[in-house]
Structure 1
Amino acid sequence: MRINNFMISNILSKDITQRLNAITTAALFFIGMLVAPVGIVSAASLPAGTTGVKWNPGHYYTIQNWANDDPIYMAKVYKELKATPALRGMQMRFLWGWIEKSPGVYDFSIIDKHLEKLAPMGKRLVIQVQTKSFEADWKLIPEYLKAPKYEGGAFAFRDWGSNTIDGRNIKLWNPYVRDRLIALFKALGQRYNSHPHVEGIGMIETALGQSVTPLTTAQTDKWFDNLIVVHQKMRTFFPNTMTIQEINYPRDYLKQIATAIVKMGGALGCPDVYPDEPGLNYSGTPKGAYHYFSQLSGTVPIAPTVEKVNYLNTRGDKKGHVPTVQELLVFARDELKSNYIFWQRLPEYVDNVLEVMNFTNQKSTPSGGLKAACPTAYPSCIKN
């Protein structure tokens, strides 16, 4: 697959200084430089013209989107975060349709609400915009995207071997859908790039799902070309914030995506930590996603997620074994060479996760034993 080099070269935003407050932060920047090591600046606030990226690697919770507004669940989350130094914050997932109410009208109140809780604790938020649903009735996209101009906005897909509609994915090959997604990230960047407790922002997995109406090669090629365009724009809107793309399948497109992510200084994630998954570990041609993690660690941030299915088995087809939390940690740390690990917080596994988070290896360094060196794709790292 070709790489859109013109788009990839357009990395740095020309309007960074318009979004950061030079007057109130210049003095803080100077003081921070006096006390911080070379390449690290204080992130009490971000000064105008800063080219570094916020960098606080380590272990984070992942919160399922159904729990975002559950006060009982979230009260437990905040209590655990406060009591567990090895947990540096949490990743929260938001469906596109939840936060854009009408064209250009956004509701970020739930994000702000959680940041108000996290900031006093010194914890951080990673935002994931979900453009793929795993239930047919989720409000994946704004209503206006269902218009003919956007080709209905999303397509239905089935899981492999299924006869039902199992979810929907956006029609990213459509240039109008692409541009509306870019507009969403622009609004998010204007609001959160300079926030010291917004650690990252990302997009969901590359696996398309088996479309009920088969996609053409042209549609699929354009889908991935436009995914890269969206990420190029995201980097300009979030010049001081980690931008993550989850990769898993199809393998034919992973090299294209990984190459582009390196050129623009993005980050690679994965929706699963499966130690024995054949497709993700595949070493032939085209290579599996995990090949890019181990190869590019140190160049770009590596940030996989441990999901519910990963607690259950080391393979997606359940032909492996039930792993321990420690086993998942060792694989993500040593084989994937992760900087960040996002642990899905589930009631049935939370005690095991917290137990491991309190082991000496996770408590002895801020990164919880994960790789902490500033990636070479970053001009510098901003450490809180």
Structure 2
Amino acid sequence: MKSAFALCLFLLVGMSGNSYAAERSPKHYVYFHSRGQEGRGIQADKSLRDTRFSGAQIVYTWRTLEPSKNRYDFSAIREDIAYLDSIGKQLWIQLQDKSFTPRRNVPDYLLNDPRYKGGVIKQSMLSAPERDPNKPPTDDEYGWSAKIWEQTVRERYQKLVQQLGKEFDGKVAGINFSESSIDIGTENADGTTTFPDDFNPQDYVDAMQENMRVLAASFTRSTPMVYLNFVPGEWLPWDDKGYMRSLFDEARRLKMGIGGPDLMPYRKSHMAQTYGFFREYPGALVKGMAVQDGNLRQINPRTGEKNTVNDIQDFAEQYLELDYIFWAKDELSDEMLKELSDEGT
């Protein structure tokens, strides 16, 4: 197989809009869920200086980028671009409205002004695949998601996206939304889910599509990407409401990149959903996925053993044909880096 860490040429062909062609030897980015105080976590990271990595994918929360209504603070992004430029690397933005801890990643005005109807909805990550099954449930595993299906909330989010595009389109490698999965509602004995009164899966899908259109229009030189993994109210292939397919179809129409968290080779729960749709996605358009915390702890159904870097690399290149792999900083142990080094020789 082709080495994922050989120097590769990533061909960007200006077809129309956000359309790209790529030789399928993916670019590698270090994923940071936090930049640390004043960006020190980024600047202190030694793996970023490794020639196998093209740059950093960094999470920026809506809350930090818009500290108060209509007051935007993009200083952290500017600082990170300047630092990465100085070492010959690129920035990839992950715009985060969801959280998987008690922290809310939206501005306070969304929470306090009644026109935003609470601004967020409570969710849980107890079923997340990256969760350590030996860890007892605790309150810190409950997070929050912005109510993007509420028009007032969605308009504010879209304004943020547009402001980011005005300043950073063409200055960053790409930008992606947080994942489509939102874990809410109560599962019933018959397998159905009872959702909160203020949530409807179709409204959520419609809102995501509208946000995708704004993202694609705001970033025409950098790669716009939507993270699609699961949609509430549907479980493929048994319960297909067309939600996920409609999101992939819209991404295809917009010629934008698709991505997702949790790169876990041949995982059954993902094969009929994200991975299956990735296989169908046009080869001329960008695809990327993240190796999140805990992904290497999962069992590969093909081997019966825990995932290895080689397993992930093979699956990413040969099965999904990815253009980008985002490696979580917390997964880049010395042992893993050594395995990466061995792969590249």
Shorter-normalised TM-score: what interval? 0.7 to 0.9
Instruction: Give SS of 1:156's match.
Output: strand
- The 5-angstrom pairing of residues 106-255 of structure 1 reads 106-136=72-102, 138-146=103-111, 147-160=113-126, 164=139, 166-195=142-171, 198-211=172-185, 214-215=195-196, 219-250=200-231, 251=235, 252=241, 253-255=243-245
2:298 paired with 1:313 = yes
Aligned residues: 304
Distance 1:68 1:352 in 2: 27
> Whose RCO is larger (CA < 8 A, sep 6+)?
1
Deviation, structure 1 residue 325: 1.3
Deviation, structure 1 residue 81: 2.2
Match of residue 354, structure 1, among 326, 337, 341: 337
CA offsets 1:302-323 (integer angstroms, 9 cap, x no match)? 100001110211379xx96322
* Partners of 1:95 and 1:139 within 8 A in 2: no
Instruction: Give SS of 1:358's match.
Output: helix
- The 5-angstrom pairing of residues 1-384 of structure 1 reads 58-65=27-34, 67=36, 69=38, 71=40, 73-77=41-45, 79-82=46-49, 84-136=50-102, 138-146=103-111, 147-160=113-126, 164=139, 166-195=142-171, 198-211=172-185, 214-215=195-196, 219-250=200-231, 251=235, 252=241, 253-282=243-272, 288-314=273-299, 321-346=305-330, 349-359=332-342, 362=344
Letter in 2 for 1:349: L
Instruction: Give SS of 1:249's match.
Output: coil
Unaligned stretches of 5+ residues in structure 1: 1-37, 42-49, 283-287, 364-384
Distance 1:343 1:314 in 2: 18
* Partners of 2:19 and 2:285 within 8 A in 1: no
Distance 2:285 2:138 in 1: 39
Deviation, structure 1 residue 292: 1.2
Distance 1:174 1:313 in 2: 36
CA offsets 1:219-272 (integer angstroms, 9 cap, x no match)? 221111011111101111111111111111124421011000000011111110
* Partners of 1:267 and 1:300 within 8 A in 2: yes
CA 1:214 to 1:160, structure 2 compared with 1: closer, same or farther past 3 Å?
Answer: farther
Distance 1:352 1:290 in 2: 28
Distance 2:18 2:228 in 1: 25
TM-score (norm 2): 0.79
Map of 1:23 onto structure 2: none
Distance 1:116 1:240 in 2: 19
Instruction: Give SS of 1:268's match.
Output: strand
CA offsets 1:74-100 (integer angstroms, 9 cap, x no match)? 3342x3322x22200010011111110
CA offsets 1:126-168 (integer angstroms, 9 cap, x no match)? 10111110001x1311011112111111001123576856101
Deviation, structure 1 residue 51: 5.8
Distance 2:35 2:43 in 1: 15
CA 1:52 to 1:275, structure 2 compared with 1: closer, same or farther past 3 Å?
Answer: closer
> Higher helix fraction: Structure 1 or Structure 2?
1
- The answer to which of 206-215 and 147-156 deviates more is 206-215
Distance 1:68 1:92 in 2: 13
Identity %: 24
Instruction: Give SS of 2:58's match.
Output: strand
CA RMSD of aligned residues (A): 2.9
* Partners of 1:274 and 1:310 within 8 A in 2: yes
Distance 2:179 2:316 in 1: 17
Distance 2:151 2:197 in 1: 16
Instruction: Give SS of 1:125's match.
Output: strand
TM-score (norm 1): 0.72
CA 1:358 to 1:206, structure 2 compared with 1: closer, same or farther past 3 Å?
Answer: same
Instruction: Give SS of 2:321's match.
Output: coil
Letter in 1 for 2:287: I
Instruction: Give SS of 2:173's match.
Output: strand
- The answer to which of 52-61 and 242-251 deviates more is 52-61
